[in-house]
């Protein structure tokens, strides 16, 4: 695979540092709970110390998180791939700071009820892989390729000129992809072909073109659905 001309360490710092990500938003709200008959189980105390300037009331608040932990959703998406080098590859990529954030952040001015990006991406990848009716091993590769391409799409919304989403995703997956090659060279090459990163004499094979088509159509549908959601919030 042809490597970027810019040194790896320099490229990684130059690309990832200027990424302007949205502030993380969790399924959370702050609720003040007083110790009443309706909230006996809440450990809330009202303290009213006397002071020369008047009375100060201190209230404890509780943060309530609704829904499934985003990190659990990521692990579930990774575990849809059979145990082995390819699953290890995905797990490694998902732990990257910027990847993890774009997969678990909600749009600041979006509707009240939103699906996390990881949920939308996992569903799209799983549906496309199952619909392909290919062998389990190739379905796993197709699923992984769609996840990586979807992550590239999400990262691309945060990249600043002169860098591109392609620069970012290659920098992010480089080390994990090398480990995949070392553990399963055939799987690593097939994943590259699905992503369009393979050798010229392989990417134009009919089977590879079919897989690339499946990846492209799925990610394009995902991009269009995200655009429609931004235009019609709520």
Rounded to 10°, the helix 136-156/117-131 angle is: 150
Give the per-residue pLDDT at 41.
Answer: 41
Q: Say whether pLDDT at 34 is over 60.
A: no
Give the per-residue pLDDT at 5.
Answer: 52
**What are the sequence ranges of the domains in the chain?**
28-65, 68-231
What's the pLDDT band for 160 if we cut at 50, 70, 90?
A: confident
| pTM of the shown model | 0.70
What's the pLDDT band for 191 if we cut at 50, 70, 90?
A: very high
Q: Alpha-carbon distance 191 to 185, whole Å? A: 10
Asked if residues 92 and 179 have their Cβ atoms less than 8 Å apart, the reply is: yes
Question: Which of 117, 103, 147, 140 has the alpha carbon at shortest distance from 229?
Answer: 117
**49-72 per-position pLDDT tens digit:** 444 456 666 666 654 556 789 999
Asked if residues 129 and 139 have their Cβ atoms less than 8 Å apart, the reply is: yes
**201-216 per-position pLDDT tens digit:** 787 788 999 999 999 9
Q: Alpha-carbon distance 192 to 54, whole Å? A: 69
Q: Say whether pLDDT at 27 is over 70.
A: no
What's the pLDDT band for 231 if we cut at 50, 70, 90?
A: low
Question: Which of 173, 14, 1 has the alpha carbon at shortest distance from 94?
Answer: 173
Look at 32 and 192; give whichever has higher pLDDT: 192
**82-135 per-position pLDDT tens digit:** 999 999 999 999 999 999 999 998 766 555 667 899 999 999 999 999 999 999
- In the numeric block, the tokens 């659905």 are attached to 225
Question: Which of 125, 192, 169 has the alpha carbon at shortest distance from 15?
Answer: 169
Question: Which of 129, 151, 152 has the alpha carbon at shortest distance from 142?
Answer: 129
Which residues have a Cβ under 8 Å from the Cβ of 197 and sit 6 or more positions away? 1, 170
């Amino acid at each position: 695979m042809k490597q970027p001309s810019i040194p790896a360490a320099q490229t990684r710092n130059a690309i990832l540092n200027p990424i302007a990500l949205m502030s993380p938003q969790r399924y959370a709200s702050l609720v003040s709970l007083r110790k009443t008959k309706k909230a006996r189980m809440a450990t809330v105390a009202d303290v009213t110390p006397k002071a020369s300037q008047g009375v100060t009331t201190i209230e404890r608040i509780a943060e309530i998180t609704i829904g499934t932990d985003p990190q659990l959703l990521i692990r579930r998406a990774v575990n849809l791939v059979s145990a082995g080098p390819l699953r290890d590859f995905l797990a490694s990529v998902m732990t990257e700071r910027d990847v993890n954030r774009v997969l678990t952040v909600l749009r600041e001015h979006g509707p009240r009820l939103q699906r996390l990006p990881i949920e939308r991406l996992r569903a799209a990848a799983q549906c496309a892989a199952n619909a392909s009716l290919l062998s389990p091993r190739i379905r796993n590769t197709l699923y992984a390729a769609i996840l990586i391409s979807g992550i590239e799409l999400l990262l691309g919304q945060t990249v600043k000129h002169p860098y591109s989403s392609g620069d970012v995703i290659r920098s992010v997956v480089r080390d994990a992809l090398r480990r995949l090659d070392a553990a399963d060279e055939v799987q690593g090459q097939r994943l590259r072909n699905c992503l369009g990163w393979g050798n010229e004499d392989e990417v134009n094979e009919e089977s590879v073109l079919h897989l690339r088509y499946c990846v492209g159509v799925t990610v394009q549908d995902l991009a269009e659905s995200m655009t429609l959601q931004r235009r019609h919030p709520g």
